[in-house]
Amino acid sequence: DQQVKQNSPSLSVQEGRISILNCDYTNSMFDYFLWYKKYPAEGPTFLISISSIKDKNEDGRFTVFLNKSAKHLSLHIVPSQPGDSAVYFCAASARGGADGLTFGKGTHLIIQP
Amino acid sequence: ETGVTQTPRHLVMGMTNKKSLKCEQHLGHNAMYWYKQSAKKPLELMFVYSLEERVENNSVPSRFSPECPNSSHLFLHLHTLQPEDSALYLCASSQETTSRSNTGELFFGEGSRLTVL
């Protein structure tokens, strides 16, 4: 059973508009959430994170929102740029990360010129 | 030197071969991980080593055998693999602490693409 779900395999957004990537989780023990970005033939790189004690974290063009009651988080990218085209993985950890990260399947974001 | 390096980047092996994947981290971290990425599946955690001791293996088949000789090196020994084991194998490292601020942030290598014929 998937504990971290990204239900959209792909998303196409026009350059300059907002990209919204969604992630749902089922394990209420998760207390830290991360987004990773992955280009082809490269390993995932850390993008942004949020602790369960917060509901929003912003870093430049990237903002992550956490809705604990709905067990839902989202990543907003605004404005979207061509270099943002990549696969985005949502990940979660429990107990301070001692058990490693649990990843979603990823969403392939395509930024159209 | 990049933070986490994996070799080889590509490996093709037969079902009766024995091979090894190597991972080296230059970040001074004390934990290392093997993940498996198959097409259309989430990244799967295979093994975790913290302070050179294995702390989790997630019921991985015994044809995968990890080795962590020191905190900077991690190996994944492969023998009698199956075609369904073909995947991208990612190594990662992190700095584990006992504080509640430990976030589990991982630093990944570029992966080893394994094809089992």
How does pLDDT run across A57-100, given as a tens digit for each residue? Answer: 999 999 999 999 999 999 999 999 999 999 899 999 886 555 56
Does the pLDDT at position B81 exceed 80? yes
Dmax (CA) of chain A = 42
Chain A nearest C-alpha distance from B24 (Å): 14
CA dist A54 and A66 (Å) reads: 7
Read off the tokens for B89.
Answer: 């194998």
Q: How far is CA A97 from CA A33, B55, B68, in A?
A: 10, 12, 20
Q: Nearest CA to B68 among B55, B85, B83?
A: B55
- Quote the pLDDT of residue A13: 97
Strands B4-7 and A19-25 come out as unpaired
Chain B nearest C-alpha distance from A89 (Å): 9
Q: Is cis: bond before B8, omega within 30 of 0?
A: yes
Query: Is residue B36 helix, strand or coil?
Result: strand
- Quote the pLDDT of residue B48: 86
A16-53 per-position pLDDT tens digit: 999 999 999 999 999 889 999 988 766 788 899 999 99
For chain A, what is the total number of helices (H) and then of strands (E)? 0, 11
| Subunit contact A49:B103, Cβ cutoff 8 A | yes
Nearest beta carbon to residue A100 from set B45, B99, B103? B45
CB A75 within 8 A of CB A89: no
Computed on alpha carbons and rounded to an integer, the radius of gyration of chain B in Å comes to 14
Q: Which amino acid, residue A53? A: I
B11-66 per-position pLDDT tens digit: 999 888 899 999 999 999 888 989 998 876 777 889 888 877 777 676 899 999 99
Query: Is residue A69 helix, strand or coil?
Result: coil
| Subunit contact B111:A49, Cβ cutoff 8 A | no
